[in-house]
Copies of this chain bind each other. A is one copy, B any other.
Amino acid sequence: MAAKLILFPVPIGDGDPDLSIPAYNRELLNTCRTFIVEDTRTARRNLKRMGYDGVIDETVFLELNEHTPITDIAHYLDPISEGRNVGLMSEAGVPCIADPGSVITAMAHRQGIEILPLVGPSSIILALMASGFNGQNFAFNGYPPIDANKLTASLKTIESRIYRDSQTQIFIEAPYRNDKLLALLAARLMPTTRICVACDLTLPTQYIRTRMARLWLTDPPELHKRPAIFLLYK
């Protein structure tokens, strides 16, 4: 079998891997001795908890983050041309969604390298499944603008796509800004636009609730520093 680029999801938070990762992923993990990762320290820890049986000190970690020179990245897939699989791992959840991994998959396509994406926890999909919102038409918008005025302007476009196109709108936020975002959404959206908050997905503390924007103004949940997804629909 030709060597491949394999995309490995990682459990969200401290979740038990058996809850969110298929058994097969462990088998493939053990066919790789080179991993492209955002941070070597957390990647070592994630490999161990997912049952990697290679010697960590003999495993090659290639970092991919905002400090990585583009000239380094150009060589990241070289082991594949020498017949060895390379793994691409996220920090949490699935790689290449809301993380920098797609630089690598795009390069693999240009080099004619086979890519094998594996199943794992996507907080976007889990949240959408549970939201009660339209799953036939949806958009993930990444992080909302931090500036409150820009956010308000952006929400106008977003809300028009909800009502005109029946398109569910999805956001993620930096966990320490969750509470502020929810307060702004509740205050700035039309009162009957519905907000779903999905937090700590796959974890014992999981919280998923859908209600109208204005109802989130009273008794909001404590979301500070918890991984959360926000979904909007009519």
Interface residues, chain A, with chain B CB atoms under 8 Å away: 7, 16, 18-24, 94-99, 101-102, 105-109, 114-117, 119-122, 124-142, 167, 196, 201-202, 206, 208-211
Q: Which 8 A-B pairs have the closest CB atoms?
A: A106-B132, A97-B135, A139-B139, A117-B129, A105-B132, A117-B130, A136-B142, A109-B210
Given A7-B129, A119-B202, A130-B115, are A102 and B135 neighbors across the interface (CB < 8 Å)? yes
Q: In the complex, are the beta carbons of A21 and B18 less than 8 A apart?
A: no
Q: How far is the CB of A110 from chain B (nearest CB, A)?
A: 8
Contact assessment for A138 and B135 in the assembled complex, using a CB-CB cutoff below 8 Å? no
Choose from B97, B133, B137 the contact partner of A128 (Cβ within 8 Å). Answer: B97
Shortest distance from the beta carbon of A17 to any chain B beta carbon, whole Å: 8
State the copy count for this chain. Answer: 2
Q: Known contacts A119-B120, A130-B7; is A135 also within 8 Å of B24 by CB?
A: no
**Shortest Cβ distance from A122 into chain B, in angstroms?**
5
The answer to whether A119 touches B20, judged by C-beta atoms less than 8 angstroms apart, is yes
A128 nearest CB across to chain B (Å) = 6
The answer to whether A126 touches B117 (Cβ under 8 A) is yes
CB-contact partner of A129 in B24, B95, B114, under 8 A: B95
Report B-chain residues with C-beta under 8 Å of the C-beta of A107: 132
Picked from B19, B140, B167, the residue with its CB within 8 Å of the CB of A24 is B19
